[in-house]
Structures are given as structure tokens and as C-alpha cells.
Amino acid sequence: MGGASLFAGILALPLTATVVTAQPASSWFPVPADAIYLTGDSWSDGDRTYRLYGVQACLRGTSFTNGHGLKRDCGEASLAMLVALVRDLRPQCYDAAESPQLRTVFVFCLASPNKGAAAGSRIDLGTALISTGFAFSALKPDGQPVHAPYFVAQLVAQRSKVGLWAFADVPDPNAIILRALRQPLAAPGTGRSDGKEATP
């Protein structure tokens, strides 16, 4: 599995519970056309990373089996959907919280389409990703949702088997991250949590 992707997911979980600081009201801004998409819930612009608050994308390096029996990277599927929705919806975002140590800004993004079936409505980008089944509701280290409305959207998508939920072996990123958080750390140089040397 992609270590960087798991590391980013593990870092984000505690941040949502403790390190994140609330931001004063900010002005709205678009996702830049030249943004570099990192995951299915984040992008970078300059020296800053922007991450959708309360959203957890599938982790890169984890896979699911598609309808043709082929293994596909789950993180790449989440990323492709984020790029497509940003391109099509052109949402405006605002800062919800920030982790200065990691130079990460957590954002909510909304779109207000003026044509098509969604004309006149407001679409939350996080809800769109989760309700289409291409992202998940992020969880705190205690297993509770970071943003409860996103958890409801996930339950509906899961029951409806839309997006990634259509595949029986879709890897739940929250389960992977929470399991990694709960595993004891190995003692330095031993590869084991009890400090004893590993035997060949």
C-alpha cells in the first residue's frame, strides 16, 4: 500500500480532533486551474495543501476489483472523481480550519450551477464525492465522524451500492487508518512492539 497515502490519512485523523485551529470568516476562492491534485480529497497550490474537511478519499495503493474482474487502484478512482467534479462544478471554497505545522488548510467547497439539472442548487463538494460513492466520511481517532452529515451521505451511498460501494472488496480507508493508529509502535531497531529482536 502507498505509505505516503496512509501517512497522510493517519496525520489528518488526529488533526481533525486536536491540532486544527478554527479560522475566522474568510473570503471564497476557487480551486486554482493549476492546482496539483494529491489525493481524492486534497490538492496543493504553492506551498499549501488544501484538504476537504471531513472527507476521506480511498487510499492510493489499495485496490478493488471492478466489474470486469480487474484490480484497480482505489485512491486513483477517488482522485479522478475529485478532478472531474472540480472541473465540472467549479466550486468556491473557504477555510474551515488550518494546521500550520503541516501547512494544510481544511476547506469546505460549494458550487452553484447556473445550467443543467442542478441549476439554482447549491452542491457541497464533499457531499458530492461521498454520495456518489467515491469518497468516505472522515472519522476521528475515536471512530466518530468528523462531520456528521457526511457520514449520513456515506450510509446512503453504501446502501445504494453506488460508486466504489458497488464492488464487494472496496477497501475502507477509515478501517485501515484506525487499525494503523491502534497498532503499537515497534521498538527502534527490533521491528517488534515488545522490544525483542525479531527471529528469522
The Cα–Cα gap between 53 and 97 comes to 8
Is the CB of residue 140 less than 8 Å from the CB of residue 146? yes
pLDDT in tens, 1-32: 444 444 445 444 444 443 444 555 558 999 99
Provide DSSP, 134-181.
SEEE-B-TTS-BSSHHHHHHHHHHHHHT-GGGGSTT---HHHHHHHHH
pLDDT at 198 over 50: no
* Max Cα–Cα distance, the chain, nearest Å: 65
> What element of type H or E holds 64?
strand 63-65
Number of neighbouring beta carbons within 10 Å of residue 102: 16
The rounded percent of the chain whose pLDDT value lies above 70 is: 79
Tell me the domain boundaries of the chain: 3-182
Its pTM stands at: 0.80
Multiple choice CATH, 3-182, 3.40.50.10540, 2.40.50.90, 1.10.760.10, 3.30.930.10: 2.40.50.90
Percent of the chain at pLDDT above 90?
72
Report the SS3 class of residue 34: coil
